[in-house]
Structure 1
Amino acid sequence: MAGKSITIAILSYHLAQHPRAIKIVKTIAKHGYKVKLWSARRIKKRIKILSSFLEYLVAIVDVMFLKADVYWVENIPDIVYLPLVLFRKKYVYDRRSPWALEAAMMYRLPKPLIKIMSIIEILMAKKSSYFVAVSKALAKEFEKIVKKSIVIPNYPEKSFVKNISPDVIRKELNVPINRKVFVFIGKLSRVEGVDLLIKVVENIKDLDAELWIIGDGPERKVVKELCSMYPKTVKWFGWIPHNEIPKYIAASDIGLAPRHKTQFNIYYSYEGIHKIAEYFAYGKPVIASGISPSPYYVVVDPSKLGEAVAKTVKGELKLPKPPKLFWENYSENLVLKVIEEVVKPET
């Protein structure tokens, strides 16, 4: 089949939360393939569990009737993509996190349900035409059961970097040019380590520094209390469109990527945590906790995050110079390699 006669379906359950899917669409489309982009329909009911159940059910039916030659699916939530296994479709399984394990921790699910989720994840990986992961650790776990495996890092596109004057942004926000600004971007949840920001603020409240928080989520109460207690040290911008994030990174000094110490730490690194590579894109060094170590950033114990931030303000902690890692330079050719191998006629 010629490239232009092949249709690739990119499936992302909550597209707005996963810009990686859009990057994959752009990469495939500009190389001559027809592309279908699918995202789950949102169904709102008063009872949240009913909404989730109906969304999953409708999504499964949608996937069942979605026509394409090849499907590229993410592993969150992989249960809705089971029709691809049932009907023996060609699909790429893109593992972006240890979904089954993380969901068990976040929602305290019963063991039988966790077991079912784990079985589905293994089945989806095993039956895939190509197994993709955003980090080496996520790939290694399944390398013995999959047909083909590759790591495709989740780096930002070059277009993410814009010509922005940090001084102008700071003036708009009434922030002194010489003040040290730390920025946190992400979902306000315990998994994303938002509660660790409490110690960060407590350690810098008497220094010439402040914390910018961008995002929203279930732990917004923590952030609201920080803003109330330390109005001169904390600025919360809430959820903002992704195309507006660059100006806040550009005007900051250091990016934060806090997480708690868990059994999943090894799975997370600059390869898969999108905001870390976005900080890098603007030349911002990074302080992290609870993720895989790297020469590109400083990783500290979660309990020491606040102290590390304060030491940076005082000039007592030197941070490594960040690399420039972009989708076009590292990931784009790997996406094309996967598609070309999957669409090849079987011999």
Structure 2
Amino acid sequence: YYRIPYIQRQYGTFLFAKLNNWLELIKYHAEVISFLLPAQKFIITDDGTYGDRVAKHFNISNEKILFLKNGIDKEKKSLCKEECRKYLIEKLNLPPNAFLTITVSRLVKWKRVDRAINAFNMIKEKDAFLLIIGDGEEREHYESLKNNSNIIFLGALSNLEVQKYMVACDLFLSLYDLSNLGNPLLEAMNAGLPIITLNNGNTKSVYKNKNLILLPCSSEEDIVKNVYNNILLLKENVVLRSKIAKNAKLYAKEEILSWEDRISMEVKEILYWSNIN
């Protein structure tokens, strides 16, 4: 009514796989409507859910789309791996030689933490541990799935605590049904962790020079088996683990924006439209 410029921000989308199913689009009508509103600009997070393709499906022109991955905190003082590991080992009373795998997410169905749990349920080595950081509606269900005492639920932690845990660990898992390119995976790269994730959504866009292990999306049984096999592979092969970790950290340094630079791009867009008004 007042002709004020309108900028819309999408953190990600559930619509990509539903675009050809009108019943599903009706179910997600609120999100569909959000792409149909007459915005001057759509700022869309590239979290692996193809938000740019969804926007184009609804005839939003390239000029109206600002499609960006999230950033990482490059300015924060580097954490010492030895100190973080000592802190974690003592806090959780783990053996000094423990092989530590970590997942970080809200505990909701589509984050599929059950895949990591089921893979670790198969691991018999007593020095291998799965640390699950996060809380949510599925926590009780996920805890009921574990039959391996080496699976540890840590609940929700502060960002700094999560960063300490990441630096201390040996492997990061991200096995979501979609949106594997969220902050946890980018932060794991920045922490120099080897990563096992799935080739779904737009995950392949950060795959460069073997900087992570990208698994095919096959049957649930095959996914869990592949995760299990690759955990053991990286546990035993220190050289491979170090190479993937080094490439992941290099990618984060060269390809992922700092949060300051990332947010400044959005601020610049907002100021542009404010000046037009």
The alpha-carbon deviation at position 181 of structure 1 amounts to 0.5
- Is 1:254 aligned to residue 171 of structure 2? yes
Map Cα deviations across residues 12-68 of structure 1 (whole Å, 9 max, x no partner). Answer: xxxxxxxxxxxxxxxxxxxxxxxxxxxxxxxxxxxxxxxxxxxxxxxxxxxxxxxxx
Alignment partner of 1:318: what SS? helix
TM-score (norm 2): 0.75
Correspondence list, 1:85-96, <5 A: 88-96=3-11
Shift of 1:87: 6.0
Q: 1:128 aligns with which of 33, 36, 39?
A: 39
| One-letter amino acid matched to 1:131 | F
Please tell me whether residue 336 in structure 1 is matched to residue 258 in structure 2: no
The verdict on how the C-alpha distance between 1:161 and 1:194 changes in structure 2, with shifts beyond 3 A counting, is: farther
Q: Tell me whether 1:193 sits opposite 2:112 in the alignment.
A: yes
Aligned counterparts of 1:243 and 1:209: Cα–Cα separation in 2: 24
Displacement after TM superposition at 1:162 (Å) = 4.8
Three-state SS of the structure 2 residue aligned to 1:218 is coil
CA–CA separation in structure 2 for the residues paired with 1:252 and 1:280: 12
Structure 1 segment 256-295 matched on structure 2, within 5 A = 256-260=173-177, 265=178, 268-270=179-181, 273-289=182-198, 291=200, 292-293=203-204, 294-295=207-208
Letter in 2 for 1:187: R
Distance in 2, Cα, partners of 1:93 & 1:160: 30
* 2: CA distance, partners of 1:305 / 1:190: 18
For the 8 Å contact 1:152–1:334, the answer to whether it is kept is no
Q: Report 1 or 2 for greater relative contact order, CA contacts < 8 Å, sequence distance ≥ 6.
A: 2
Structure 2 counterparts to residues 40-189 of structure 1, below 5 A: 88-100=3-15, 111=24, 113-114=26-27, 116-124=29-37, 127-135=38-46, 137-143=50-56, 144-146=59-61, 147-159=63-75, 162-164=78-80, 165=83, 166-189=85-108
Q: Report the CA distance shift for 1:269/1:217 in structure 2 as closer, same or farther (over 3 A).
A: closer
The structural deviation recorded for 1:128 is 1.5
Secondary structure of residue in 1 paired with 2:34: helix
CA distance in 1 between counterparts of 2:127 and 2:191 reads 22
2:145 maps to 1:234 = no
1:310 is matched with 232
* One-letter amino acid of the counterpart of residue 189, structure 2: F
- CA distance in 2 between partners of 1:192 and 1:172 (Å): 27
Match of 1:206 among 120, 125, 146: 125
| Long gaps (5+) in structure 1 | 1-85, 105-109
Q: CA deviation at 1:258?
A: 0.7
- Give TM-score scaled by structure 1 length: 0.61
Partner amino acid, structure 2, of 1:119: V
Which range moves more in the overlay, 192-201 or 215-224?
A: 215-224
Q: Distance in 2 between matches of 1:258 and 1:151?
A: 23
Q: Report the CA distance shift for 1:226/1:332 in structure 2 as closer, same or farther (over 3 A).
A: same
In 2, are the aligned partners of 1:192 and 1:258 still within 8 Å (CA)?
yes
Residues 131 and 149, structure 1, Cα contact 8 Å, conserved in 2:
yes
Task: Name the aligned partner's letter for residue 228 of structure 2.
Answer: G
Q: Is the 8 A contact 1:181 1:252 kept in 2?
A: yes
The Cα of 1:191 is off from its aligned counterpart by: 0.4
- How far the C-alpha of 1:251 sits from its partner, in A, is 1.4
**CA distance 1:197–1:93, change in 2 (3 Å):** same
**Distance of aligned partners of 1:182 and 1:160 in 2 relative to their CA distance in 1, 3 Å threshold:** farther
Output the aligned Cα RMSD: 3.0
CA contact (8 A) 1:92 1:131 kept: yes
- In the TM superposition, what is the alpha-carbon distance from 1:222 to its structure 2 partner? 3.6
- Comparing 327-336 and 301-310, the one that deviates more: 327-336
